[in-house]
Structure 1
Amino acid sequence: MSDKRIELAVLDMAGTTVADGGLVLRAFDAAATAVGLPESGTERETARAYVLDTMGQSKITVFRALFGDEDRAQLANRTFEQTYDEFAAEATPIPGAAEAITALRAAGIKVALTTGFSRTTQDKLLNALGWNDIADLTLAPAEAGRGRPYPDLVLTALLRLRADAVDRVAVLGDTTSDIASGLAAGARIVAGTLTGAHSEEQLRAAGATHIVDSVVEFAELLTTP
């Protein structure tokens, strides 16, 4: 690792610091049904596979790609958010996540929590977990410009938290979109965690600089001299 100290850790939420437990796919199924997608068959399975492949991306972007028509995409997005919001109370942290975030901040590393969800859904998760004050910053795609795989979330966190340079930033996520976003932003460390949607093979193929078992190991990576 460079002798330049990491100043900012940008952490994904669902699958990285928050256990998903299949909530995203359950909410997607409700959204797909709302826009008239057959409840079984090739069309539904193809759409589910696309949702899995694009985990981490802004959900409205995913629905636009899936359904083409803007009205259908907006209906799917509204239904997804309403359904996920109902599930948010079931959310639990990845074991050790809160302690890992606290350890990063205690070491002088600022922490930003990012998501592909809307601000409303992100706030539901934060409230359910009691995490409203756990990080220095929380960001949803609409607050940054574009969601993943674009670099906007990482770069917005850098600007708002005044990190000195992109090579002082470390990114952690469980999807290939998280990896692509961190690489596009120029972060020095772009790590994949094995607690979420994508496999070690997928994360390595996407260009992850490190693979960790969880956010706990990531925090240790950044705080160990």
Structure 2
Amino acid sequence: MTDANKLIVLDMAGTTVADGGLVERAFERAAEALGVEPGSADHGGKLQYVRDTMGESKISVFRRLFGTEELARRANSAFEQAYAELVDGGLIAPIPGAREAVEKLRADGRTVVLTTGFARVTQDAILDALGWRDLADLTLCPADAGGRGRPYPDMVLAAFLRTGAADDVRATVVAGDTAYDMLSGRRAGAGTVAGVLTGAHDRATLTAKGATHVLDSIAELPALLAREPGA
């Protein structure tokens, strides 16, 4: 294999992990803990913002929603606790074919990194629930890359620097289900930025934010890369 497509940076929830809307459910619990009345206009507006910013660092979302650092941290802690409880309840599963896709990519000599907008404690809870601790070469959360998360390119660039898997950032492949995943990949200079239709955003949204390819599922990624020049 040449240097082409040597580093693969994959999102988790919505891309490799099916969480059945747990982000929204955990947010609703967190918002209620901070006194946001369920069914109110305030609640509806905040929930819509969470949907629109899927993929972004959750603490960043809460800073904008609640205005102060203290409230944002309280909301984030309540969110993490609620999400972990839902994960512990067995309410997440791999996207069909996701584990096999990662295993195939690594067997083909590629380096795979799993990224998330969640805090490390939440990411680890997901990895443990799925038995994925050793699935990828590296896992990253926003705090591992300066704290900003998506749509900034930081986690993609951290994956590039920390793995040393490729000599050129254009040899990086980014895949995700949200507009922010696409923006992050394009801003990092990744050569392939693939949207998947198993999560938050549709084909038109992913394409508008820079997707070079749109796939029905992450399970299609190994075959796509096998067809790319230099694979």
Shorter chain as normaliser: what TM range?
A: over 0.9
In the alignment, residue 215 of structure 1 is paired with which amino acid?
Answer: I
The match for 2:160 is 158
Question: Using the alignment, how far apart are the partners of 1:117 and 1:159 within structure 2?
Answer: 21
Displacement of 1:223 after TM fit?
2.6
Instruction: Establish whether residue 64 from structure 1 lines up as the match of residue 67 from structure 2.
Output: no
1:172 Cα shift? Answer: 0.2
Instruction: Provide the TM-score with structure 1 as the length reference.
Output: 0.97
Query: What is the RMSD of the two structures over their aligned residues, measured on CA atoms?
Result: 1.0
Q: Is the 8 A contact 1:81 1:121 kept in 2?
A: yes
Distance in 1 (alpha carbons) for counterparts of 2:57 and 2:38: 23
Q: What is the CA-CA distance between 1:165 and the residue it aligns to?
A: 1.2
Give the counterpart of 2:184 among 181, 186, 189. Answer: 181
Residue segments in structure 2 that go unaligned for 5+ positions in a row: none
User: 1:222 and 1:161 mapped to 2: Cα distance?
Assistant: 19
Give the structure 2 partner of residue 113 of structure 1: 114
1:193-213: CA deviations, max 9, x gaps? 000001111111111111001
Q: Judge conservation of contact 1:104–1:223 (CA < 8 Å) in 2.
A: no
**CA positional deviation for 1:72:** 1.0
Q: Does 1:214 align with 2:181?
A: no
How many residue pairs get aligned? The number is: 223
2:11 corresponds to: 12
| Contact kept? 1:107, 1:223, Cα under 8 Å | no
CA distance in structure 1 between the aligned counterparts of 2:20 and 2:87, rounded to whole angstroms: 11
- Does 1:168 pair with 2:167? no
CA distance in 1, matches of 2:111, 2:13: 19
Structure-2-length-normalised TM-score = 0.94
1:42 CA drift (Å)? 1.4
Specify every segment of 5 or more residues in structure 1 that has no aligned partner in the other structure, as ranges. none
Partner of 1:143: 144
- Secondary structure at the aligned position of 2:175 is classed as strand
- Alignment partners' CA distance in 1, 2:222 and 2:72: 37
- Contact 1:88 / 1:125 at 8 angstroms: preserved in 2? yes
* Inter-partner Cα distance in structure 1 for 2:210 and 2:176: 12
Match of 1:53 in 2: 52
Q: Could you list the per-position Cα deviations for residues 37-61 of structure 1 after superposition, in whole angstroms to 9, with x for gaps in the alignment?
A: 1111211111111000000000000
1:81 corresponds in structure 2 to: 80
What is the SS of the residue equivalent to 2:193? strand
Question: Which residue number in structure 2 is paired with residue 27 of structure 1?
Answer: 26
User: Deviation of residue 149 (structure 1)?
Assistant: 0.3
Cα pair 2:102 2:112 within 8 Å, conserved:
yes
Q: CA deviation at 1:4?
A: 5.1
Partners of 1:28 and 1:219 in 2: CA distance: 34
Percent identity between matched residues is 57
Supply the distance in 1 between the matched residues of 2:32 and 2:7 (Cα, whole angstroms): 40
SS at match of 1:187: coil
The runs of at least 4 aligned residues of structure 1 exceeding 3 Å deviation read none
